[in-house]
Amino acid sequence: MLWSGEAPGWPVVLADGPVVLRPYRRSDARAWSHVRRINESWLAKWEPTPYGSWHELNSPATFRAVYADLRRSARRGTAMPFAVCVVDDGRERLAGQLTLGNIVRRAFCSAYAGYWVDSRVAGRGVMPTALALAVDHAFRSGGLHRIEVNIRPENTPSRRVVEKLGFREEAYHPRYLHIDGAWRDHVGYALTSEDVAGEGGLLARWHRLQAAASSS
């Protein structure tokens, strides 16, 4: 599908139950820095090799640079960078990030998804819900046809996220990305809009799977 608009489907706020996806705000700096800093041992082993200390790279000042960069990419239509929030007791708390990045349009209409959550909300299905919301939006309003996720083979929690949602395992990429100090192999998963069109979308599929799991 070809698009005349520069950034179809952006900005947007998406929600399902306690999970809210929204664009970052400048005022997220302190919350972002705090959650990133307290999660160093949880996140660093899965993230691009840092070029400085974790503390500095996750400061409020760094956030402001990251924010400006993400906002530019989003306006150009090359990324949909969502802040992932969780509503607890009526309060919305920044709990992670989900970015559909490297968006290429024309004949490809594809994006890579990257994500993380605060370890304090891990295991509650936050990221599968967030990914399902983002994928449905990307297919319905973002002009995209395919979403790809590349994961280190040993990252079982992340592989579970895409496997539970029914992404297809498509590729093995040796020494694909420089993560945590070395070139790391990745397993490539993907989903196209046809895969979920007949099921009412990926979120509907995820809800059905959760309902089936809780009734068995």
Q: Write out the residues near ligand COA by the rule CB under 6 A.
A: 42-43, 46, 115-117, 122-128, 151, 155-158, 160-161
Question: Based on CB atoms, which residue is closest to ligand COA, 103 or 165?
Answer: 165
Residues paired with 178 in a beta bridge: 183
* Residue 45 beta carbon to ligand COA: minimum distance, rounded to whole angstroms: 8
Q: How far is the CB of 91 from ligand COA (least distance, A)?
A: 19
Specify the residue, 137 or 152, whose C-beta has the smaller distance to ligand COA.
152
Shortest distance (Å) from residue 163 CB to ligand COA: 8
Q: How far apart are CA 113 and CA 118, in angstroms?
A: 17
Which CB, 127 or 134, lies closer to ligand COA? 127
Place of tokens 């990914």: 131
| Minimum gap (Å) between residue 13 Cβ and ligand COA | 19
Please, what is the minimum distance in Å from the beta carbon of residue 138 to ligand COA? 18
Closer residue to ligand COA, CB minimum distance, 105 or 164:
164
Closest approach of ligand COA to the CB of residue 98, in Å: 9
Between 53 and 119, name the residue whose CB sits nearer to ligand COA. Answer: 119
Residue whose CB is less far from ligand COA, 107 or 213:
213
User: How far apart are CB 106 and ligand COA at their closest, in Å?
Assistant: 27
Query: Of 163 and 192, which CB lies nearer to ligand COA in the complex structure?
Result: 163
Question: Taking a C-beta distance cutoff of 8 angstroms, is the pair 147, 135 a contact?
Answer: yes
Q: Which residue is nearest to ligand COA (CB)?
A: 123
**Radius of gyration for the chain, computed over Cα atoms and rounded to the nearest angstrom:** 17
Please give the Cα distance from 27 to 64 (Å, whole number): 9
